[in-house]
Structure 1
């Protein structure tokens, strides 16, 4: 994190303003992250973005030279090849993101979320984005399916409309907020590609560099992987579904690595 100092004149008086300047995505505040999302969606121009991003008073950094230099300081936001193990927006409209390194997320939850994410990547529809966010962010006392007897299961047979109502609620959230969540999830999947490279293979060299507007992330067919994970142990399938996702990834990553070694 750097510190920026700008001198400017206002009403004939020489003034000075200082503000912290992030040097990487992880240092963005939630407010700055949302501004980046709006810029990506072209909901604001660069001049307004810089003014809000730095919280500059009227008259400060308004000429072309200052705008150019201010833009240089945050050039990193044009490169989405980022790894991040947490969500910058931890709470949105009373819904909470998974914890750091996906703490609190079970394998079943992740499979539903990632399937919805892949659908949005394919079709780009707002309705698909709403479903993705609805599955990723939950209330504090909510669960995904398991254990099946709990009343607050998002896909519970006892309350089949709970997901439908959630999607209707999420649909009212500003699109740039939901897009920021999508972007952050891309960063999390790229972190997963580093932590579990056999399960989430990703080739950085083949990805487009700075300025890409459609961030890339590894895609996985979870139905096939889950069937292979469970194998003949169908009787205790719930055990695998409810397993902490990091534990499931570690086991799957090891199985794939060992299988590849045996082929050599």
Structure 2
């Protein structure tokens, strides 16, 4: 976190205020994350990032604005996070939905398959319907992920502000970047087509289940990190 001291003039008097500015994505508050992804005017964005009134930002000199703008360099430098900034979503008639835990801990593998498929599809063809499905499958009730509930919540997710949904999509993308670096053998750097990507997760699931079809639902609930560790182990064994 960057500690900032801002000096400005008001009524011919010099005043100062001490505040902070995030140095990486993980230090941002939900309000700052939404502001950065929704692209407001420069004064509004700086006010939110510095957590100070907009009227003070408007009193800053061009040199001060330029120096503060340099603090946004972390956007290019730090392109991954391990947790969601928006940990909850309040949905009318659906209550409060929760994001996955940091590092996607305890996230069911089948939930990841759905979410990642929607995310990759939205990256190629950014349709609002796909974005709503992504968020609906990503955020779950306190009781945990359930496909029937996720499908039922899609219509309710459509009523949320699109900028909020896009912020969530970006947040997942940053977490996905963290995951790919943690499991490089599972996510090789060379990219495949969307079709092969989608089918690959289904192939992974089928390989894990094998002939044990009666316990298919149990395998779907296996934490995604456990699946990635399993895949990594099998790849290493295959290279020996």
Aligned partners of 2:41, 2:236: CA distance in 1, in Å?
A: 47
Any residues of structure 2 matched to 1:181-200 within 5 Å, and which? 181-200=168-187
Q: CA RMSD in A?
A: 2.1
Between Structure 1 and Structure 2, the one with more helix by share is 2
State yes or no: 1:51 paired with 2:8: no
Distance 1:35 1:80, change over 3 A: farther
Distance 1:165 1:230, change over 3 A: closer
Q: Secondary structure at the residue paired with 1:86?
A: coil
State yes or no: 1:201 paired with 2:188: yes
Any residues of structure 2 matched to 1:226-241 within 5 Å, and which? 226-241=205-220
Aligned partners of 1:238, 1:56: CA distance in 2, in Å?
A: 50
> What is aligned with 2:130?
128
Consecutive unaligned residues of structure 2, counting only runs of 5 or more, are: 91-95, 192-196
Aligned partners of 2:139, 2:99: CA distance in 1, in Å?
A: 5
Q: Secondary structure at the residue paired with 2:14?
A: strand
* Cα shift at 1:81: 5.8
Residue deviations 1:166-190 (CA, integer Å, cap 9, x gap): 1121111112211111111111111
> What is aligned with 1:213?
none
Q: Secondary structure at the residue paired with 2:47?
A: helix
Consecutive unaligned residues of structure 1, counting only runs of 5 or more, are: 145-153, 156-161, 207-218
Any residues of structure 2 matched to 1:111-260 within 5 Å, and which? 111-144=113-146, 154-155=147-148, 162-202=149-189, 221-259=200-238
Give 1:84's match in structure 2, choosing from 66, 81, 84.
Answer: 81
The TM-score, its normalising length taken from structure 2, stands at 0.86
Aligned partners of 1:50, 1:232: CA distance in 2, in Å?
A: 57
Distance 1:164 1:245, change over 3 A: closer
Q: Secondary structure at the residue paired with 1:74?
A: helix
The answer on whether the counterparts of 2:136 and 2:151 sit within 8 Å (CA) in structure 1 is no
Aligned length: 227
Distance 1:182 1:119, change over 3 A: same
Distance 1:201 1:231, change over 3 A: same
The TM-score, its normalising length taken from structure 1, stands at 0.79
Aligned partners of 1:56, 1:236: CA distance in 2, in Å?
A: 55
Aligned partners of 1:163, 1:23: CA distance in 2, in Å?
A: 35
* Cα shift at 1:47: 3.2
Any residues of structure 2 matched to 1:62-81 within 5 Å, and which? 62-77=60-75, 79=76
